Amino acid sequence: MTMVEVQVTGGVIEGQQLGNEYDGTHYYSFKGIPYAEPPVGELRFQAPKPVRSWSGVRSAKDFGPVCPQIDLLFRTENPLVSEDCLYLNVYSPDLTPKKPKAVMVWIHGGGFFCGSGNDDLYGPKYLLQHDVVLVTINYRIGVFGFLCLDTEDIPGNAGMKDQVAALKWVKDNISNFGGDPENVTIFGESAGGTSVSFHLVSPMSKGLFKRAIMQSGVTTNCWSEVTNARKRALVLASSLGCESDDDKEIAKFLKTCSTESILFPRLPLTFSEGRREYPELYLAIVSEKEFDNVERFYSGDSFTNILNNLHKDVDIMMGYMEHEGLIFPALTPKTDKAIKHANTFMEYFVPNSIILNNTPLQSHKIGEMIRNFYIGKEPLTKSNALKFVRFFSAAFFFYDILTWCRLAASRRTNRVFLYKFSCRSKLNMFNKVFGGTKLYADEKAACHADDLLYLFTNIHTERHPVDSVENKLIAQVNKLWTDFAKFGNPTPDNTWPQFHLEDQSYLNIGKHLQVEHHPEREDLEFWDEIYRKYLPARSLDVIKQ
């Protein structure tokens, strides 16, 4: 094993040269590199501070701690956890290439409450075969990254500011690993994809990357932003015994609570939220208030930001899975009870944003329309559960993703490439992991997060025969992603056309690559009309204004 040293912000680190058994080459691995000061004590909930320097040579052979969490989704191995979690990992095929290599920075998903950049899910060996430098990052999640009191001391979005700090570190240091700081692609899945889309409109992130890939998540998804964030912070403080109405006292109290006591709070504000057998994210991105001494990561609303603040000339690639909704049982452990509610209460099918802007009677009517469109008048049962999967896929994923795509395309300032991921192979394992087989027995269905198995090696990875379907699909997907990172075009021969409002071209990524038009047309027309009638501020009519 060969050891190698590299100078970075803070000092010298020592990594390893390792073998890649998938192609017989070698690569360089640097793990657990600190990119900011540990956000502990008084720094809890605040924006990250610059990394402190160290003396001597720091080992970069092991991953750094990950943010404290309860992993309800991926159920991977238990890594070292600590609030001191702002570390990243760099993998490079060549530290001194003749020409600097394209850089890909991975932002992990996990609903803003779990996950890390470790190789239990995000190993580098597939991507490195395509001659790119890969960076994976940890950032604060849950309460630690997304609590918001709407005060200067706890303004919110600390986890997103961590990501910005990591991108700045990449800009300053990646050339020492053979990477090109002027050719950085950020990419992520689910909450990671949503994070990428927020960077595309954040003033803090401008100029830190050239390209962006969003997989199964964008700013317009109903779960990407949190409403009434301050009230939820007050609920947390009160539940832990703080009854003060002084913001400074509340902040001081929350900063001194034990890690365990605030690890995974449920913060419903209404009886409906508390009783609803439905996935709710109580901690995510917020529109920040303005304070003199605090740089805001994000403010305003998603539609306005896409139309007015999308970073010009950044190439964009984005898409969704064929059966996103198969994640439903993982988010709703009492699946049978949730289905019972879906058969009883029409409002179950109505997005919260519409409920909050309509009367109970209107919400019931809207829910009846949505239920009839997806389920019909018969009861929801296991035999027709795929209809519910279709509803959940549309309401929580692809409608909002396609809305984001259409809004961005209307500006004509960015190249946009849209895909639908429908690969079927033994690699598709998350339908079973998430419990989606309760709703749809086909274990090879392309579920939420299954695209990860085509991009990264992980603890579930096994070697496949060279001529296997799995190997061919892995090579195909990695080439699309890395060609986009290198050239700003996933198919340099222009096989995959850009998305335009007129023909709405997209690539169906399955066993074969098929260019198609007008994705999910019937669903989009239905939901477009729902929003046009009942929540005009979030309808596509804004494009015409």
Residues taking part in catalysis: 190, 324, 448
Structure-derived torsion over alpha carbons of residues 209, 212, 218, 224, reported in degrees to the nearest 10: -30
Determine the Cα–Cα distance for residues 381 and 335; give it in Å rounded to an integer.
12
- CA dihedral defined by 20, 26, 32, 35, rounded to 10 degrees? -120
Of 185, 192, 134, nearest in space to 162 by CA:
192
C-alpha to C-alpha distance for 103 and 12, rounded to whole angstroms:
21
CA distances from 409 to 66, 492, 526, 528 (A): 37, 20, 21, 17
CB 107 within 8 A of CB 137: yes
Tokens at 393, concatenated: 């896929």
Indicate if the alpha-carbon torsion angle 176, 179, 184, 190 is positive or negative: negative
Q: How far is CA 350 from CA 274, 360, 365, 518, in A?
A: 16, 11, 10, 24
SS3 labels along 453-498: HHHCECCCCCCCCCCCHHHHHHHHHHHHHHHHHHHCCCCCCCCCCC
Q: How far apart are CA 242 and CA 234, in angstroms?
A: 9
CA distance linking residue 237 with residue 280, whole number of Å? 19
Say which residues have a Cβ less than 8 Å from residue 211's Cβ, sequence separation at least 6.
Answer: 183, 184, 185, 186, 314, 315, 316, 317, 484, 485, 488
Place of tokens 């740089």: 295
Q: Collapsing DSSP states into helix, strand and coil, what is residue 274?
A: helix
Residue type, 114: C
Using N-to-C axis directions, what is the helix angle for 385-393 and 360-374, rounded to 10°? 120
Closest by Cα among 120, 89, 91, 121 to 17: 91
Q: Is 278 exposed, middle or buried (0-12, 13-18, 19+ CB in 10 A)?
A: middle
Matching residue, tokens 């991953």? 63
Q: 212 - beta bridge partners?
A: 186, 316
Distance of alpha carbon 338 from alpha carbon 329, whole angstroms: 9
d(CA 145, CA 40): 12
